[in-house]
Structure 1
Amino acid sequence: MKNKFSYIYLLMILPPLFWAGNSVLARGIAEMIPPVALSFWRWTIALIVLLPFTWKQVRRDWPTICAAKKSIFLLGLLGIAAFNTLLYTAAHTTTALNLSLTQSVMPVVIVVISFVLFHERISRLQLFAIILCTLGAGYIIIQGDWQRLMQLEFVSGDLIMLFAVTLYGLYSVFLRKRPAIHPMSFLTTTFTVGVVLLLPLYLWEWQHTPPLELNPAVMFSLLYVALCPSILAYLFWNRGIHEVGANKAGLYINLVPLFASFLAVLFLGERFQSYHLIGIILIASGLLLFNLPLHRTGRIRI
């Protein structure tokens, strides 16, 4: 059992890494790919990759899928069609710093939604752990300079991103209502919902924006977002939430700005700074505290 959960926690580290790459890439190619086109082709390519391997399993699970069509539609709308399209839209009007700052509040959003909708409580120690992780993520984002908080300028993209984070928080919490079907069937059906919902928006955008130029940068970007932050990240994320719950899994979102900083060091030539180390210590401490046994910690309502 211990090895199993160690494996699950290892898997939970990968989605934030892939999503950090997604956020950095979204900002970097904002001028090359319109937001709906990026989202539509991301999920379309991911679906094309999945179908040859999953259609037989989907056919076996079809009766259960039909019985749970409302849940699958809701999860496909929230987690597939809405969140990423809004993130890519926000990337056109706000900074990468603000994108990361907004995503760092997702664990708190998940905890609040879990309590409001399902009366799921957390301990005082876990609440303190959430605060530590949020501070760690925020410290990396502001680069250790609290004065930067006063200099942040919030625009429409920030409000769009906050709405996107709320929707993904709902997706994460509602995963407990997912039907009892194979994980690959679940990915295939929710990806299909996302593609179908995005198609009319893509056709509308296609008529009002310049044609997409398939240069190497665009093709690499589409392949990356289809494989890593889509298929792999969602498979690992959904499995992790199934095993450890939305509150505990949501805390790993705080790794997104940390990984984004590492990616900037690796690919953009930025230097590793002391605030990165402080952020790492705070996030690691929060994750450790949140996962301590609860037999000596009283639960509280938030």
Structure 2
Amino acid sequence: MTGGSRSLGTLALIATAALWGSNHVVARAARDAAPLPALVFWRWLPAVIILTVIAWPVLQRGWPDIRPRLRELTIGGVFGVGLFSYLLIGGAYQSPAIEVGFINATTPVWVVLLGVMMGGGQITRAGYGGLALAFIGTILIISKGDPVRLAGLQLSLGNLWSLLAAAFFAWFSIRVREWSRTIETLPLTVVTAWAGLVVVLFPVYVIWVARGGPWFAWTDADMPTALGAIAYTGLGPTMLGNVFYLYGVATNGPTRAAGFLYLSPLCTAMFSIVWLGEQLTWYQAGGIAAILTGLVLLSRPEQDAKTIP
């Protein structure tokens, strides 16, 4: 991998963090305009069609490498695109955008843990402390600074969805690194996106409409707001964000790429305060401080790195 490619990958990851940071904010603002199944489905459908048209020549050329791995790519798309997208946007529908963004910052922690569990990674002594701090920070946000919430299981469903989304995407990031050794970024994006759309998002959307749900927007919603939210999330965070991220993973590796995602909650916090008028609470600030400190410790090289028993 050339230095130029890695530099471009770094820029792509910074752009990804900004796009995905705005994603939570737009989804939070759109919850009164478009129902969740409609927003998640329609944000992906146009993006996948456009990407397929753009990637078609490369997709045909790379099909011999894709076909033997089609089953595992489909599974990857189900978890890394379909379920992840639904949980991510669903989290923003039910919890403040600031909290959702902060919880999604734990993705690098999951990358490290899952990498070790899958036999492809190591953790340093400092990493143990980093994992503990990131865990404490996440619990602080989920419990909203009140341990009674944990004891009584009075947790925000949106925060739990966001945490599960982070774990799914971490696993997907690890798999992308392996797939990208033989499959180019655009075809990889297209195949996994179609898998998530067809297997998860489309069936959920059909069931929603069949049960009487509105197909696009709430009946009393502002249509320009619904159209704008779906258009932006589809072309920005969904299409460009995923292409940029997969390219960043391919050029920088899953652990380094996931580390850039800590920029995303900072963007989310800034956008949320400016556009939505959300307030930064003490437990949110404390939680993100613990998470970011944990990420720094996780990324520190150390001679005596060792695998988790």
TM range (shorter): 0.7 to 0.9
- 3-state DSSP class of the match of 2:94? coil
1:114-134 Cα shifts (integer Å, max 9, x gaps): 000124103335555667778
Distance change >3 Å, CA 167–CA 154, structure 1 → 2: same
Matches within 5 A, 1:72-91: 72-91=73-92
Q: 1:222 — aligned with what?
A: 230
Which amino acid is the alignment partner of residue 258 of structure 1? Answer: L
> Would you say the 8 A contact 1:46–1:226 is kept in 2?
yes
Please give the root-mean-square deviation of Cα atoms over the aligned residues, in Å.
3.4
Post-superposition offset of 1:228: 1.7
Distance change >3 Å, CA 151–CA 277, structure 1 → 2: closer
- Choose 118-127 or 61-70, whichever is displaced more: 118-127
Q: 1:202 — aligned with what?
A: 205
Sequence identity, in percent?
A: 26
Distance change >3 Å, CA 270–CA 206, structure 1 → 2: closer
1:215-271 Cα shifts (integer Å, max 9, x gaps): 111111111111221222112211222233222222222222211112134434679
Q: 2:192 — aligned with what?
A: 190
Q: 2:252 — aligned with what?
A: 244
Distance change >3 Å, CA 119–CA 280, structure 1 → 2: closer
Distance change >3 Å, CA 111–CA 280, structure 1 → 2: closer
Matches within 5 A, 1:208-287: 208=211, 209-213=213-217, 215-268=223-276
Q: 1:121 — aligned with what?
A: 122
Matches within 5 A, 1:3-152: 3-125=4-126, 148=145, 150=147
> Would you say the 8 A contact 1:20–1:260 is kept in 2?
yes
Unmatched runs of 5 consecutive residues or more in structure 2? none
Post-superposition offset of 1:185: 1.2
Distance change >3 Å, CA 30–CA 272, structure 1 → 2: closer
> Using the alignment, how far apart are the partners of 2:144 and 2:161 within structure 1?
24
- Choose 182-191 or 99-108, whichever is displaced more: 99-108
Distance change >3 Å, CA 87–CA 285, structure 1 → 2: closer
> Would you say the 8 A contact 1:79–1:171 is kept in 2?
yes
Post-superposition offset of 1:82: 0.8
> Would you say the 8 A contact 2:108–2:295 is kept in 1?
no
Question: What is the TM-score with the length of structure 2 in the denominator?
Answer: 0.80
Unmatched runs of 5 consecutive residues or more in structure 1? none
> Would you say the 8 A contact 2:106–2:134 is kept in 1?
no
- 3-state DSSP class of the match of 1:122? coil
Distance change >3 Å, CA 276–CA 212, structure 1 → 2: closer
> Using the alignment, how far apart are the partners of 2:288 and 2:92 within structure 1?
25
- 3-state DSSP class of the match of 1:181? coil
- 3-state DSSP class of the match of 2:43? helix
Post-superposition offset of 1:77: 0.7
> Using the alignment, how far apart are the partners of 1:248 and 1:60 within structure 2?
29
- 3-state DSSP class of the match of 2:189? helix
**Aligned residues, how many?**
296
> Would you say the 8 A contact 2:29–2:276 is kept in 1?
no
> Using the alignment, how far apart are the partners of 1:226 and 1:216 within structure 2?
15
> Would you say the 8 A contact 2:73–2:191 is kept in 1?
yes
> Using the alignment, how far apart are the partners of 1:57 and 1:274 within structure 2?
49
- 3-state DSSP class of the match of 2:118? helix
Post-superposition offset of 1:113: 0.5
Post-superposition offset of 1:288: 6.9
Distance change >3 Å, CA 138–CA 97, structure 1 → 2: farther
